[in-house]
């Protein structure tokens, strides 16, 4: 058993729901107990969908167990078919139904419905949401794709591609598709099919008619892309166009496969100039910690180092399926990869590294808030505010603009606070005003957490820790007071560096000189 409060991913059947909900004409009959319908509201609330997810839950209860759960499944499937008339049906079990060992596959087959029925084997006690989505998409394509279909001859037509991987509840998938479609159009390339998002089974049947595939979200589409390579000989573009450089690489890779001139891709990105302008100089070597799904984390690391001039000090992902790719990427930055789905480990890593910016998921947003570190979101899981009304892709040249604004924004706020702290002695300013991007009155860090983290509370010059604690660590009163003059958002790092320096030098007492000697020692 694993003690969990927060989980980065839901169970695999939620991944299957993401595929069913993304598509048209597909209905998912899920063998599940009462209560599992909670997942509907991820789609209706967080993503603000205006339709119910196309999922029928058998909703068995205790009184049904051992008697008619199989019959319940069949009648639910029959009713769903009669009511919704789908072109294809997915059937499967949630974690509880997996234990009662009804066989949705066999039960559905016995019904002889006149449409393709795809049975899903999603091991709930081993696998998670992304895997469930990938497996569902793969099984569906495998069952429905017409293996005889091939691209028509190239003479007199534009190249045609499939975009693979976007789903319901995907982080910025809606706008990424628009951006990439525009980019490809500017290169003279047509989209044959976007799947699963917006596709119906009839479209999937013709998937083989595209010249090649573009895999935008490996977490969802990788298994399918490999099968299409094998079955239809379609090649796969694997560069993920997140960031300015990656988008250029993507354009080149696509152009080579399509036999078009990459120069016609319209680069309308402001990002390179924004990043080179003198206002961005202070971004140089800002220490950034990056965590999310592997694909977004790896892409973000490249943008952070090569396009914003940050120093990547931490890189990790929560999906073990892509651990190898992440380890490779971590080597590029000479850092230890962090592969975990335990948010407490992530929190410890962030607390230990004291980065100046955190790029992560909704979870890291909260960790950063607690540790008072600027933060931006780069990956699912995300909350409702990251399904915005405005156009905000992550991919392509407009995506690069979005990334620049999103990541720099919390740092500019940090700079604004820095100016405030310089005027701290001024009666109108004080630490207790709090950080503007964190809102007011946020909770102090819990005491049972890394005590290095200091909340700033009501007093202007609030102790860094209990005076006796500081004294026990060798801080003289004078040095401790000086430490308080350092802006709160780098104070934790300054204290750690000073204590480390004192230990290295074998000093029993930390004096004013120790503080400044350490500062000189660790100066960048």
**Residue 59 makes contact with another protein by CB under 8 A:** yes
Among 19, 22, 42, 122, indicate the residue that binds another protein (CB under 8 A).
42
Q: Which stretch binds another protein (CB under 8 A): 121-129, 153-161, 291-299, 468-476?
A: 121-129
Instruction: For residues 311 and 304, give the distance between their C-alpha atoms in angstroms, rounded to a whole number.
Output: 7
Instruction: For residues 312 and 288, give the distance between their C-alpha atoms in angstroms, rounded to a whole number.
Output: 5
Q: Which stretch binds another protein (CB under 8 A): 8-16, 178-186, 295-303, 500-508?
A: 8-16
- Chain residues 424-483 in contact with another protein, contact rule CB under 8 A: 443, 446, 448
E strand or H helix at 314: strand 311-317
Nearest distance, CB of residue 313 and another protein, angstroms? 23
Q: Which region holds residue 397: left if phi is over 0, alpha if psi is between -120 and 50, else beta?
A: alpha
Instruction: For residues 290 and 301, give the distance between their C-alpha atoms in angstroms, rounded to a whole number.
Output: 7
Instruction: For residues 21 and 15, give the distance between their C-alpha atoms in angstroms, rounded to a whole number.
Output: 10
**Residue 44 makes contact with another protein by CB under 8 A:** yes
How many CA atoms lie within 13 Å of 3's alpha carbon, on the beta-carbon side? 2
Cβ(62)–Cβ(69) below 8 Å? no
Per-residue binder mask for another protein (CB under 8 A), 83-112, x = binder? x----------xxx--xx------------
489 token code pair: 């958002």
Residues marked as catalytic: 279
Among 160, 173, 248, 370, indicate the residue that binds another protein (CB under 8 A).
370
CA-nearest of 412, 393, 406 to 268 is 393
**Residue 274 makes contact with another protein by CB under 8 A:** no
Nearest distance, CB of residue 126 and another protein, angstroms? 5
CA-nearest of 484, 334, 507, 351 to 421 is 484
Size (the chain), residues: 524
Judged by beta carbon, residue 15 or residue 165, the one nearer another protein is 15
Nearest distance, CB of residue 403 and another protein, angstroms? 25
Nearest distance, CB of residue 14 and another protein, angstroms? 7
- Chain residues 10-39 in contact with another protein, contact rule CB under 8 A: 10-11, 13-14, 33-39
Among 20, 27, 54, 60, indicate the residue that binds another protein (CB under 8 A).
60
Phi (first) and psi of residue 118, to 5 degrees: -100, 120
Q: What angle do CA 52, 197, 177 make, to 5 degrees?
A: 130
Judged by beta carbon, residue 84 or residue 516, the one nearer another protein is 84
Instruction: For residues 322 and 295, give the distance between their C-alpha atoms in angstroms, rounded to a whole number.
Output: 8
Q: 3-state class of 283 per DSSP?
A: helix
Judged by beta carbon, residue 36 or residue 452, the one nearer another protein is 36
**Residue 136 makes contact with another protein by CB under 8 A:** no
CA distances from 496 to 10, 64, 347, 351, 516 (A): 37, 60, 17, 11, 13
**Residue 132 makes contact with another protein by CB under 8 A:** no
Nearest distance, CB of residue 55 and another protein, angstroms? 9
- Residues at the interface with another protein (CB under 8 A): 1-7, 9-11, 13-14, 33-42, 44-45, 48-52, 56-62, 65, 76, 79, 83, 94-96, 99-100, 123-126, 128, 363, 366-367, 369-370, 383, 443, 446, 448
């Amino acid at each position: 058993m694993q003690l969990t409060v927060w989980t980065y991913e839901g169970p695999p059947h939620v991944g299957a729901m993401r595929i069913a909900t993304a598509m048209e004409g597909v209905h998912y009959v899920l063998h599940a107990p009462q209560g599992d319908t909670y997942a509907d509201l991820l789609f209706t609330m967080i993503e603000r969908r205006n339709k119910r997810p196309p999922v029928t839950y058998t909703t068995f209860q205790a009184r049904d167990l051992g008697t008619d759960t199989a019959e319940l499944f069949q009648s639910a499937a029959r009713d769903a078919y009669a009511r919704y008339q789908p072109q294809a049906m997915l059937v499967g079990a949630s974690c509880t139904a997996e234990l009662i060992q009804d066989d949705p596959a066999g039960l559905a087959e016995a019904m002889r419905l006149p449409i393709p029925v795809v049975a899903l084997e999603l091991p709930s006690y081993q696998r998670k949401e992304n895997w469930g989505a990938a497996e569902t998409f793969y099984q569906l394509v495998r069952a429905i794709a017409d293996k005889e279909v091939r691209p028509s001859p190239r003479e007199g037509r534009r190249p045609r591609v499939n975009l693979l991987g976007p789903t319901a509840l995907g982080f910025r998938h809606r706008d990424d598709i628009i951006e990439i479609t525009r980019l490809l159009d500017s290169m003279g390339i047509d989209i044959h099919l976007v799947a699963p998002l917006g596709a119906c089974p009839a479209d999937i049947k013709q998937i083989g008619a595209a010249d090649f595939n573009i895999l935008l979200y490996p977490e969802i589409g990788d298994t399918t892309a490999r099968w299409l390579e094998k079955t239809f000989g379609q090649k796969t573009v694997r560069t993920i166009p997140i960031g300015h450089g990656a988008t250029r690489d993507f354009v080149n890779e696509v152009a080579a496969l399509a036999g078009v001139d990459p120069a016609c891709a319209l680069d309308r990105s402001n990002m390179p100039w924004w990043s080179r302008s003198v206002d961005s100089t202070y971004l140089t070597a800002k220490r950034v910690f990056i965590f999310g799904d592997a694909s977004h984390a790896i892409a973000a690391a490249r943008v952070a180092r090569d396009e914003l001039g940050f120093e990547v000090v931490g890189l990790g992902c929560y999906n073990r399926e892509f651990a190898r790719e992440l380890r490779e990427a971590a080597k590029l930055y000479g850092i230890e990869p962090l592969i975990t789905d335990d948010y407490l480990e992530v929190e410890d890593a962030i607390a230990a590294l004291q980065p100046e910016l955190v790029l992560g998921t909704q979870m890291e947003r909260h960790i950063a808030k607690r540790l008072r570190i600027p933060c931006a979101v780069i990956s699912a899981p995300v909350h409702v505010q990251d399904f915005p009304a405005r156009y905000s892709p992550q991919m392509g040249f407009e995506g690069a603009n979005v990334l620049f604004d999103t990541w720099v924004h919390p740092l500019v706020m940090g700079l604004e606070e820095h100016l405030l702290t310089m005027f701290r002695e001024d009666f109108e300013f004080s630490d207790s005003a709090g950080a503007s991007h964190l809102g007011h009155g946020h909770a102090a860090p819990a005491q049972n957490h890394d005590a290095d983290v200091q909340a700033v509370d009501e007093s202007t010059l609030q102790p860094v820790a209990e005076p006796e604690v500081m004294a026990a660590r060798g801080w003289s009163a004078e040095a401790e007071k000086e430490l308080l003059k350092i802006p709160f958002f780098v104070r934790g790092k300054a204290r750690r560096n000073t204590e480390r320096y004192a230990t290295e030098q074998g000093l029993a007492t930390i004096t004013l000189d120790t503080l400044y000697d350490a500062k000189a020692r660790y100066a960048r």
